[in-house]
Structure 1
Amino acid sequence: MTEETIELIKRTTELQGISGFEHSIRDFMREEMTGLVDEIEMDGLGGLFGIKKSSDEHAPKLMLAAHMDEVGFMVSSITSKGLMKVLPIGGWNPYVVSSQRFTIQTKKGNYPLVSSSVPPHLLKGKKSESLSIDDILFDGGFESKEEAEEYGVRPGDAIVPDVETIQMANKKTFVGKAWDNRYGVTLVLELLKKLKGESLPSTLIAGANVQEEVGLRGTKGAVRKFQPDAFLAVDCSPANDLNGDKEAFGRLGDGFLLRIQDPGMLLSKEMKDYLIDTAESNNIPYQYFVSKGGTDAVAAHQLNEGIPSAVIGVPARYIHTHQSLFRIDDYEAAKEMVYQLVKTFDQSTLDTLKKF
C-alpha cells in the first residue's frame, strides 16, 4: 500500500454524492482520468467512462463499472420550526441514523446538519416503540421554515453523511463512509494509472455508473450506449464476520469476493472457471460470496442479447452507515484480480465465456 493509495481512498470516500447527485465524484473522476485514456464519455444519466482502445479494431469490448453514488437522504418537507423531514435514498437501518452529522446540499451552498434523537432523560416512563426514518428530523439550527428557506433549503435537496476517513491502529484497516462504492471508483482510477502506456487485447471501457443504490438505474443507459461484450462490476458488499464464523460470507482479510449468486444473477459456469483460473494462477486470495443484494451486474447481464457478467467485490463491515470498516489487503487483492482480467481478456476468452 502506497501513500498515493491512502490519499486516493481518503479523497474518494470523503467526496459527497448520493444517488442522482453524483456531481463532485464525476468531476473528480474526469480530472483523474484525463491523460490516462483515449476518450472520456458520459451517458445520458451521468455515468462517466474512460475508453482505452485496443490496437485491434475488431477486439471485443470489456466494461469495468463501479458506481459513484452513496446512500443518503432527500428533503421531503420543512417544518415550521425549520427542521427537515426526509426520504431515504438507498437502504438505511433507522437505528444508525440518529445523532449523526450530515451535509445538506442546496442551491445557495452546503450546510451542516445533525439528525435528531431523543435523550434518555425524556424517555423515562415511556413505552419503547420501533423506530422508523419518518420519526427522525434533520436539524440545521434554523429557527423557522422561513429562515431555512432564506439559506436555500428546499424539498428535493440532497443530504449526505459527513465523515472523515481514517486508518485504524494496525494500519491494515480503514473506517469511513461510502466504501460502497468508492472502492470501485478508487480501483478504476488506480487501474487506469497502472495501465498507462500498456496495450490491451480488448477495448476497455472503465468508469462508474450513477444511481446504483436506487435500483441499478445508471448501468442500463451506460450498457446501451457503450455496447460491451462482457461486463465486470466492482462493488462493495456487507461483511458478516463479527462472530468469527469461518463459513460466513464476507470475511475481512480473506481476499476479494467471488460472487456466485445473488437475487438477480447467477454466475455462469464459464465465467466462474475463468475467474478461478485467473485468481489461482496469479496467487490472488479470494472467497466465495452469496449475497442478499444485487449489483450493476444484475442489470447489465440481462441487456442487449445477454452479456457475460461478473462481480469482483470486497467486504466491509457496517456498510450503509457513517462508519464502514474495511481491509486494505482485500482491496489490493481485488485490484490485482481486475488487472489480470483486463490484461488477459481477448476474443478467445469471450468465445469461451459464450461456449455453452
Structure 2
Amino acid sequence: MLASAPMDDAAYDRLERLLRAHGPSSREREAADLWAELAGEFATVERDRMGSAIATVGPADAPAVLLLGHIDQIGLIVTHIEDSGVLRVRGLGGWDPRVLVGQPVRVRTQGGDLPGVLGSVPIHLQKGDERTSGTEMKQLWIDIGATDGDHARSLVRIGDDAIVGHEPTRLAGSRLTSRALDDRLGAWVALEALRIAAAGAPRVRVAATGCVLEETLGDGARLVTDHVRPDAAIVIDVTHAADVPMVDKGDTGPQALGSGPVLTRGLGLDEGLFESLASVAAAEGIAHGVEAMPGGGSTHTDVDNALDAVRHLRAALIGLPLRHMHSPAEVCDLADVEGAARLLGAWCLQATPETLA
C-alpha cells in the first residue's frame, strides 16, 4: 500500500508558492493572502480580524467540519542594531539556536527584502566552556553587509522581521527540503482537501483555514474556530519522523518519511473521528500510521486552541512526518502530504450530518 500517487505539477506548484511566501508568526499576511487567493478559485473565502483566511464549500445550513493548517512559520525579529551594522535578534517561535549559525536570512523592511546571514563568534575565538555549552539566541546576529550602524539603520528598523532557511529544493525520490514545512504542509493539505470536496457534492459544510499565530500565541485557531463554530475540527500539522539516528520511537512512535499521514489517538481527541479517518484511508488504499498522544499535557498543536474556543468539540489530528523540525531545512516526503490531502478530501465527501452529530 502506498501513501499516495505522485503529486502532480500544478499541486506541487501551489505548495512551492506557499513555501516561498513570507509569513513569520504574527507577520503572516503575504502567506495568508496567497492561501486565500488559491482557495478563492473554488470556494467562498473570508478573512478574520487576525488575518486568517477561511474558505468554505458545501451547504451553508449543514453541520460543519473545520480543517485547520497553520500558515505561520517560525522567524526572527530585530531587537537592536549595533554600531558595527549587525542586527541583534530574538525568535518569533521556538528555535534551536544551534542550527542557525551561518544560515541565510531574508529581512523584511519598508524598502523591501534584504538578504543576510546569521553570524556568531567563530569557534577559533571561543573560550573555555563556550565551545561546549551550546549556542544561545543572544549570541547570534544578522549580517546584512552594512558598513556601520548608520548604514544599517538607514535600511532596517527595530521590529522588522526575518525568515530563515532554504528555498524549496527537491531531494531524491519524492523528498523535499525547505524552510516552513511546519506548517505550510498542513495549510496546503487543508487547501487541497477542500479542493477535492468542492469538486464533489459534500453533504456537510466544509471549512478550511490557513490560520495565523500557532507558533506563538495560538489565537489564530481560537478565533477561526469560534467564528466557524464547527461540529468537528481536524487539525493537520507535522509530527516527528523517527527514521533518523537518536530518535526514540518510544517517544515519537515509529512513523517514517514515506509511511503516510499519521492519525493520532489520545488526549483530547475524538475516537470516532479517528476510526472514520482510518476506515476511509483503508478504503482509499492510503497507507497511514498511528501515533499516541499521552495524557497529562497538550498536543502542542492547534487542537488545543480549537478546544479552547469551542467546548466539547470533536477533534482529530493528522500528522505529517517531518525530519529536522523547527530548523532552516526541514525534510518531508511529498507522498505523505499528497496522501493526507486525498484522505481528508475523501473523508469530507463521505461525511454526513449524522457523521458529525
- TM-score scaled to structure 2, two decimals? 0.90
Match of 2:115 in 1: 112
Give the whole-Å Cα distance in 2 for the aligned partners of 1:83 and 1:62: 47
| CA root-mean-square deviation | 2.1
Give the whole-Å Cα distance in 2 for the aligned partners of 1:196 and 1:21: 29
Answer yes or no: is 1:52 the counterpart of 2:54. Answer: no
Q: How far did 1:303 drift?
A: 2.4
Give the whole-Å Cα distance in 2 for the aligned partners of 1:27 and 1:189: 13
Match of 2:137 in 1: 133
Match of 2:12 in 1: 6
Q: Is the 8 A contact 1:180 1:237 kept in 2?
A: no
Q: Is the 8 A contact 2:72 2:215 kept in 1?
A: yes
Q: Which amino acid aligns with 2:66?
A: M
Q: How far did 1:137 drift?
A: 1.1
Return 5+ residue gaps in structure 2 as ranges: 1-5
Match of 2:164 in 1: 161
Match of 2:279 in 1: 277
The superposition leaves residues 213-262 of structure 1 with CA deviations (integer Å, 9 ceiling, x where unpaired) of 0132211111111211111111112222214977652321111111224x
Q: Relative to 1, partners in 2 of residues 1:127 and 1:50: Cα closer, same or farther, differing over 3 Å?
A: closer
Look up the SS of the partner of 1:339 in the other structure.
helix
Answer yes or no: is 1:102 the counterpart of 2:105. Answer: yes
Return 5+ residue gaps in structure 1 as ranges: 352-356
Q: How far did 1:310 drift?
A: 0.8
Look up the SS of the partner of 1:319 in the other structure.
coil
Give the whole-Å Cα distance in 2 for the aligned partners of 1:189 and 1:268: 23
Q: Which amino acid aligns with 2:9?
A: E
| 1:183-198 aligned within 5 A | 183-198=185-200
Q: How far did 1:192 drift?
A: 3.5
Q: How far did 1:274 drift?
A: 2.1
Answer yes or no: is 1:143 the counterpart of 2:150. Answer: no
Give the whole-Å Cα distance in 2 for the aligned partners of 1:126 and 1:308: 50
Q: Relative to 1, partners in 2 of residues 1:203 and 1:79: Cα closer, same or farther, differing over 3 Å?
A: same
Match of 1:354 in 2: none
Match of 1:234 in 2: 236
Q: Which amino acid aligns with 2:67?
A: L
Match of 2:3 in 1: none
Give the whole-Å Cα distance in 1 for the aligned partners of 2:304 and 2:117: 35
1:27 maps to which of 28, 33, 40: 33
Q: Which amino acid aligns with 1:111?
A: L
Q: Which amino acid aligns with 2:48?
A: D
Give the whole-Å Cα distance in 2 for the aligned partners of 1:300 and 1:242: 32
Report sequence identity in percent: 25
Q: How far did 1:123 drift?
A: 3.7
Answer yes or no: is 1:337 the counterpart of 2:343. Answer: yes
The superposition leaves residues 78-122 of structure 1 with CA deviations (integer Å, 9 ceiling, x where unpaired) of 112121111111111111011111011112211011101333433
- Regions of 4+ moved over 6 Å: 244-247
| 1:71-82 aligned within 5 A | 71-82=74-85
| 1:290-305 aligned within 5 A | 290=292, 294-305=300-311
Give the whole-Å Cα distance in 2 for the aligned partners of 1:191 and 1:259: 18
Q: How far did 1:125 drift?
A: 7.1
Give the whole-Å Cα distance in 1 for the aligned partners of 2:292 and 2:314: 18
Answer yes or no: is 1:218 the counterpart of 2:220. Answer: yes
Match of 2:72 in 1: 69
Give the whole-Å Cα distance in 1 for the aligned partners of 2:52 and 2:130: 47
Q: Which amino acid aligns with 2:64?
A: K
